[in-house]
Chains A and B, each alone.
Chain A
Amino acid sequence: GDSVTQMEGPVTLSEEAFLTINCTYTATGYPSLFWYVQYPGEGLQLLLKATKADDKGSNKGFEATYRKETTSFHLEKGSVQVSDSAVYFCASGGSYIPTFGRGTSLIVHP
């Protein structure tokens, strides 16, 4: 079956550092790919998505590129802020039931 693998956290960074959270997937066909973010005490919300190979999703300074050749969708941000501290989930679509990764906790220190 489909699966999504994310790097384990927590990822701890200082403010203004560069962020990468790795995500790889296995799926039949070419699913849409998503990053969701969960801020403390809240539900998940969509951060960005890409629907086909080589698409780049972007939002709030975060970016991720759909790489078919490496089956990856790594999340990046050039300069993180304390307010980015949250749990980040990678997910693949393709049917109406997405497959989620286990989440990666990001902690940003001032």
Chain B
Amino acid sequence: DVKVTQSSRYLVKRTGEKVFLECVQDMDHENMFWYRQDPGLGLRLIYFSYDVKMKEKGDIPEGYSVSREKKERFSLILESASTNQTSMYLCASSLLNPLQETQYFGPGTRLLVL
């Protein structure tokens, strides 16, 4: 089975702190994604990556950056956390082949910024 793991289930940070959220997948997937999930807004794409060192902005990239140094690992970085970044963050991965486009999600990281 595909497994996507996220480094933390819960995080509490202070405003202005630098925050790292890490995601690892074990199925050699080319594509990796970071979403945030907020009540009433569904899933919103922050960034995605289709290859090592490649990244593309999603719908809401402001205030975030990403890093993909290895194929299996995709990190989301909040350079200076703000209270409006309190949310659930979900990582996902998928194959590059558009005929195999099922996404596999991690369990999520619930981030609280005080």
Interface size on A, residues (CB 8 A): 22
B56 — nearest CB in chain A belongs to which residue? Answer: A97
Q: Kindly state the separation between the CA atoms of A85 and B50 in the bound complex, as whole angstroms.
A: 34
Instruction: Confirm or deny: B15 has a beta carbon within 8 angstroms of a beta carbon on chain A.
Output: no
Residue pair B105, A96 in contact (C-beta under 8 Å): no
The residue from A94, A95, A98, A102 contacting B103, defined by CB atoms under 8 A apart: A98
Count class of interface residues, chain B: 20 to 34
- B90-110 with Cβ < 8 A to chain A: 90, 92, 94, 96, 98-99, 101-108
Residue pair B98, A43 in contact (C-beta under 8 Å): no
Residue pair A34, B102 in contact (C-beta under 8 Å): yes
Residue pair B105, A45 in contact (C-beta under 8 Å): yes
Chain B residues contacting A32 (CB-CB under 8 Å) are 101
Sorted from nearest, which 10 A-B pairs have the closest CB atoms? A43-B105, A102-B42, A44-B105, A93-B101, A100-B43, A43-B107, A43-B108, A103-B42, A43-B106, A46-B102
